[in-house]
Amino acid sequence: MPRALEVKPLENYQLWVKFSDSVEGIVDLSHLVGQGVFALWDDYEAFKRVHIGPRGELVWNDAVDLCPDAIYLKVTGKKPEELFPKLRELAQHAGN
């Protein structure tokens, strides 16, 4: 799985993210603002303090982080089974 290498906050709760396979793009996170732990983002300055954590996750503080795999899927428009072929196999076995 490609790793997040760079992240930059943009306006309206969007992030630009670049991955190790040269894929880059913008993801809109505005739908999360104010929900649960994302209440932190009610302060837009807090949202802008995003950085990449030690395992490649997108981090805001000790309570808020996002999986880079989920962000990669949003940026590329791919489905999980396209990146993780074993998921397709598991789904086929579950249907039997």
The 10 Å Cβ neighbour count of residue 95 is 6
Residue-wise pLDDT for 59-79, tens only, equals 998 889 999 999 999 999 998
Confidence of residue 85 (pLDDT cuts 50, 70, 90): confident
Evaluate if residue 82 carries a pLDDT over 90: no
CA–CA separation, 96 and 77 (whole Å): 28
pLDDT at site 63 = 80
Helix (H) or strand (E) holding 51: strand 51-52
Number of domains in the chain: 1
Q: Please give the structure tokens belonging to residue 29.
A: 């996170």
Instruction: Tell me which residue range forms the domain holding 51.
Output: 4-94
Mean of all residue pLDDT scores within the chain: 90
1-23: pLDDT as tens digits:
889 999 999 999 999 999 999 99
Query: Which candidate, 26, 25, 33, places its Cα nearest to that of 60?
Result: 33
CATH code at 52?
A: 3.30.2020.10
Per-residue CA distances from 34 to 14, 38, 41, 85 (Å): 15, 5, 6, 34
Using one digit for the tens of pLDDT, what is the confidence trace for 23-65? 999 999 999 999 999 999 999 999 999 999 998 899 998 889 9
